Amino acid sequence: MKARWFGLLLVVALAASLLFLTLPIATIFLDTSPGALIASLGDDQALEALRLSFYTSTIALALIVAFGTPAAYLLATRRFRGRAVLITLIELPLVVPPAVAGIALLSAFGPNGVVGGALEQAGVRLVFESAGVVVAMSFVAGPFYLRAAQTGFEAVNPSWIAAARTLGASEARAFAQIAIPAARAGLVTGAALCWGRAVGEFGATLVFAGSFRGTTQTASLAIVELFGNDFDAALALSAVLVALSAGLLVTIKLAARLPASRTAGR
């Protein structure tokens, strides 16, 4: 009897969560006819924004993976003083409101920022530039990847690495050929979450990089602008974004299930 009410509670909780999380997204599609969806793809502003979102988020993701993978490996495999503090600092952008992130980026990299002046002299401009969008995306989305990658590496059996080392593999080789393939699922999931967060980035981009068609106006920013002018267009662009995100999420989840031998082996 006791076990039954608990089981029921779990089911109710899941049903409520599922309904709450899927209903709004489902209604986006109920409110948009497929025709309107396709028509919105012919709209210059929407198309330009989608293109910008795609390439800025891809660059952000590439940077995050390039820096984040070794960094996460270090955090996962070494124990040192201040490690917990370091991890907390890295997680901070996860809980900071996006607008605050934007202001923080401005005060660091803006024209009057701490390092912004030096960047400007070096000819690097971020504010009002697509590069600024990449920076904003990397800042807010990076921690998603770092966290997932670290967890992924922590789950790798240390004796595999040790075995590879005993057999003469350098640490770099063990990292590339044992740790990365073994942590694959965590890395891929982290990358997917991170990419999704980057595409969805709004507040930090607006505050730090601004919003201008073709340069800094990503799809998320275009949706908000369209919302004031043309609700149907905003809805259609939202639907496109949901469909693309869902597609990517599914692809990546399937990819993560590939047997290790196929991705790692040579």
Partner 1 sequence: MHRRVFTALLGFLAFASVAIGCSNGSDPPRVTVSAASSLTSVFQVYSDEIGADARFSFAGSDQLAAQIEQGARPDVFASAEPDLLTKLSRQGLVGRPIVFARNSLVIAVPEGSKIDSVSDLAQPSLDIVIGAPGVPAGDYAREALDRVPRQDAILANLRSEEPDAKGIVAKLISGAADAGFVYATDVRAAAADLDAVAIPASLQPKILYSIAAVKGSDDPDGARQFIAGLSGDGPGVQLLEGAGFARPAR
Interhelix angle 231-256/34-41, nearest 10 degrees: 90
List 165, 227, 244, 245, residue binding partner 1 (CB under 8 A): 227
* Residue 16 C-beta: closest distance to partner 1, Å: 21
Q: Which of residues 124-153 bind partner 1 (CB under 8 A)?
A: 127-128
Give Cβ neighbours of residue 39 (< 8 Å, ≥ 6 apart). Answer: 236
The piece of 6-14, 137-145, 191-199, 225-233 that touches partner 1 (CB under 8 A) is 225-233
* Residue 261 C-beta: closest distance to partner 1, Å: 42
* Residue 119 C-beta: closest distance to partner 1, Å: 13
In this structure, what are the phi and psi dihedrals at residue 211, rounded to the nearest 5 degrees? Answer: -140, 110
Burial of 255 (0-12, 13-18, 19+ CB in 10 A): middle
Closer to partner 1 by CB, 112 or 261: give it: 112
Q: Report if residue 28 touches partner 1, rule: CB under 8 A.
A: no
Q: Report if residue 43 touches partner 1, rule: CB under 8 A.
A: no
* Residue 236 C-beta: closest distance to partner 1, Å: 15
The piece of 6-14, 141-149, 188-196, 227-235 that touches partner 1 (CB under 8 A) is 227-235
Q: Report if residue 225 touches partner 1, rule: CB under 8 A.
A: yes
Q: Other CB atoms closer than 10 Å to residue 217's CB: what's the count?
A: 23
Closer to partner 1 by CB, 122 or 167: give it: 122
* Residue 48 C-beta: closest distance to partner 1, Å: 13
Q: Report if residue 188 touches partner 1, rule: CB under 8 A.
A: no
Q: Report if residue 6 touches partner 1, rule: CB under 8 A.
A: no
Distance of CA 166 to the CA centre of its chain: 37
Q: What amino acid occupies position 90?
A: I
In this structure, what are the phi and psi dihedrals at residue 54, rounded to the nearest 5 degrees? Answer: -65, -50
The piece of 34-42, 145-153, 226-234, 251-259 that touches partner 1 (CB under 8 A) is 226-234
Q: Which of residues 93-112 bind partner 1 (CB under 8 A)?
A: 103, 106-107, 110-112
Q: Report if residue 48 touches partner 1, rule: CB under 8 A.
A: no
Exposure letters 178-211 (e unless 16+ CB within 10 A, then b): bbbbbbbbbbbbbbbbbbbbbbbbbbbbbbbbbb
Q: What torsion do the CA atoms of 155, 158, 164, 165 make, to the nearest 10 degrees? A: 140
Sign of the Cα pseudo-torsion (48, 49, 50, 54, in order): positive
Q: Which of residues 194-223 bind partner 1 (CB under 8 A)?
A: 206-207, 209-213, 215-217
Nearest 5 degrees, angle CA 174-CA 178-CA 180? 105
Q: Report if residue 29 touches partner 1, rule: CB under 8 A.
A: no
Residues that bind partner 1 (CB under 8 A): 103, 106-107, 110-112, 127-128, 206-207, 209-213, 215-217, 224-225, 227-229, 231
